[in-house]
């Protein structure tokens, strides 16, 4: 499929000089807000988003009229125009939209921080709101008789085969990953168990009062082989808002700023929306590798500098795969890193997903992971890493993705 020439190009990145990176330390996350996380919110996504933005504005100690920018997910059903009307925000000078599902999570911060570094706006809201548990699920094909043609070319070549949901798309990568590195369902279970341990300390987590054992994981019902029930994230109703402000403004606000050291995005060739099965290797996530390479380059940090990480975990295999792609361990060693849980739980060498994350806290498309990374910098997490100085968050996988590194 790929000859030597193409393989070489596949590995090549363009690397402008580090000193041209203007985002570093120019902006900080100053406010975080969220609704409750539930299975049935009983209200509109717009209302939940407005509630989350209000909570974040209050958290930051801002006035509503100081908000001058919004960054939304392309997939979100709400928009800045209607949010401003509900919240009485008089005007905006910046608004943007980020593509690729959960890959957009840290991309929203890339846009906000870049806009602030460029002087386009000073105080930008990044948000996501969804009634994913009770309402319109983007993760399921409705299967109504009116849908006859699969949308777009790449979907048109996979949906007719009933390969139509995120667990199936990720399960395909997982089957190859588990096969190449001789990993078992039990190995994978440790990922879910550690996330659940962290959720059991977090009263806002959907699974706060529900412990989970390895045994329960491996005996749980199969969803799409090789993924079982607890390998999959928890469908959630809720909203999260994150406010990014200039470093200068951040100093005058209520909370300890979580400074943005770096915010990067990555796309890799031969990609499709969660079905990039045609690459030389599919047991890895090259978008995450590029995003990580760029993050380490622009920040000057290396993986061992990171004190706490929130890896995007719509499905459990994505955590060991990202440990490899972001450089925390060698290729094929991600499963070893997670086995037994000691290295990834609170107190371990890299405490991961300390709120319980998507697998056990809530699935808010990565935005609840950003909120947790900020709490770690502030020192207010329910699974607080002592003296956390560098806090990593990553975006959705199997798609163009993104990551941020925060500091205190």
Catalytic residue positions? 312, 363
Q: How far apart, in whole angstroms, are the C-alpha atoms of residue 288 and residue 236? A: 25
Q: Which is nearer to another protein, 100 or 173 (CB)?
A: 173
Tell me phi and psi for residue 283, to 5 degrees: -90, 10
Contact in structure between 323 and 169 (CB atoms under 8 Å) = no
Q: Which is nearer to another protein, 49 or 321 (CB)?
A: 321
Q: Hey, which residues does 407 pair with through a beta bridge?
A: 259, 390
In the complex, the smallest distance separating the C-beta of residue 150 from another protein, rounded to whole angstroms, is 4
Torsion of CA 269, 272, 275, 281, to 10 degrees: 0
Q: Which is nearer to another protein, 117 or 189 (CB)?
A: 189
Contact in structure between 259 and 406 (CB atoms under 8 Å) = yes
Q: How far apart, in whole angstroms, are the C-alpha atoms of residue 156 and residue 151? A: 6
Angle at alpha carbon of residue 135, lines to 132 and 139, rounded to 5°: 45
Neighbours of 280 (CB within 10 A): 12
Tell me phi and psi for residue 304, to 5 degrees: -70, -10
Q: Do strands 94-98 and 227-228 pair parallel, antiparallel, or not at all (unpaired)?
A: unpaired
In the complex, the smallest distance separating the C-beta of residue 138 from another protein, rounded to whole angstroms, is 14
Tokens 């190449």 found at = 180
In the complex, the smallest distance separating the C-beta of residue 43 from another protein, rounded to whole angstroms, is 25
Q: Which is nearer to another protein, 81 or 147 (CB)?
A: 147
Sheet holding 401-407, edge to edge: 94-98, 69-73, 123-131, 237-246, 27-34, 258-266, 401-407, 390-394, 308-310
Q: Which is nearer to another protein, 22 or 147 (CB)?
A: 147
In the complex, the smallest distance separating the C-beta of residue 355 from another protein, rounded to whole angstroms, is 25
Q: How far apart, in whole angstroms, are the C-alpha atoms of residue 393 and residue 406? A: 8
| Sites of contact with another protein (CB under 8 A) | 1, 3, 5-6, 140-141, 143-145, 147-165, 167-168, 171-173, 175-176, 179, 221-226, 269, 272, 275, 277-278, 282
Peptide bond into 226 cis (omega under 30): yes
In the complex, the smallest distance separating the C-beta of residue 141 from another protein, rounded to whole angstroms, is 6
Q: Is 208 helix (H, G, I), strand (E, B) or coil?
A: coil
In the complex, the smallest distance separating the C-beta of residue 336 from another protein, rounded to whole angstroms, is 21
Q: How far apart, in whole angstroms, are the C-alpha atoms of residue 336 and residue 322? A: 13
Q: Which is nearer to another protein, 137 or 297 (CB)?
A: 137
Q: Which is nearer to another protein, 36 or 180 (CB)?
A: 180
CA 116 remoteness from chain centre: 22
Q: Is 135 helix (H, G, I), strand (E, B) or coil?
A: coil
In the complex, the smallest distance separating the C-beta of residue 398 from another protein, rounded to whole angstroms, is 13
Q: Which is nearer to another protein, 7 or 22 (CB)?
A: 7
Q: How far apart, in whole angstroms, are the C-alpha atoms of residue 406 and residue 257? A: 9
Q: Hey, which residues does 265 pair with through a beta bridge?
A: 402
């Amino acid at each position: 499929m790929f000859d030597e020439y193409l393989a070489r190009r596949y590995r090549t990145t363009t690397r402008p000089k580090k000193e041209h990176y203007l985002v570093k330390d120019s902006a900080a996350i100053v406010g975080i807000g969220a609704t409750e996380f539930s299975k049935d919110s009983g209200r509109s996504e717009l209302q939940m988003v407005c509630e989350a933005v209000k909570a974040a504005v209050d958290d930051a100690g801002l006035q509503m009229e100081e908000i001058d920018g919004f960054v939304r997910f392309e997939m979100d059903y709400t928009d800045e125009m209607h949010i401003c009307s509900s919240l009485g925000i008089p005007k905006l000078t910046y608004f943007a939209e980020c593509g690729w599902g959960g890959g957009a999570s840290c991309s929203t911060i890339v846009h906000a921080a870049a806009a602030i570094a460029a002087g386009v706006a000073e105080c930008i809201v990044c948000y996501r709101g969804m009634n994913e548990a009770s309402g319109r699920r983007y993760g399921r094909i409705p299967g109504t008789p009116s849908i006859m043609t699969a949308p777009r070319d790449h979907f048109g070549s996979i949906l007719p085969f009933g390969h139509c949901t995120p667990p199936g798309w990720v399960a395909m990568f997982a089957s190859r990953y588990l096969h190449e590195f001789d990993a078992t369902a039990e190995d994978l279970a440790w990922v879910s168990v550690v996330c659940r341990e962290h959720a059991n300390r977090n009263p806002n987590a959907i699974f706060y009062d529900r412990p989970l054992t390895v045994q329960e994981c491996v005996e749980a019902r199969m969803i799409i082989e090789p993924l079982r029930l607890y390998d999959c994230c928890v469908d959630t109703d809720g909203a999260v808002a994150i406010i990014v402000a200039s470093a200068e403004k951040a100093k005058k606000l209520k909370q300890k700023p979580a400074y943005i050291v770096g915010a990067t995005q990555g796309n890799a060739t031969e990609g499709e929306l969660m079905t990039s099965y045609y690459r030389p290797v599919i047991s890895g996530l090259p978008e995450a590798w590029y995003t990580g390479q760029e993050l380490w380059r622009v920040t000057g940090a290396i993986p061992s500098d990171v004190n706490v990480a929130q890896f995007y975990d719509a499905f459990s295999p994505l955590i060991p795969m990202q440990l490899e792609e972001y450089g925390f361990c060698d290729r094929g060693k991600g499963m070893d890193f997670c086995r037994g849980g000691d290295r990834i739980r609170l107190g371990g060498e890299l405490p991961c997903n300390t709120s319980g994350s998507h697998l056990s806290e809530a699935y808010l498309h990565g935005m609840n992971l950003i909120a947790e990374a900020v709490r770690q910098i502030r020192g207010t997490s329910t699974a607080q890493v002592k003296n956390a100085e560098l806090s990593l968050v990553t975006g959705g996988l199997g798609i163009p993705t993104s990551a941020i590194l925060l500091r205190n």
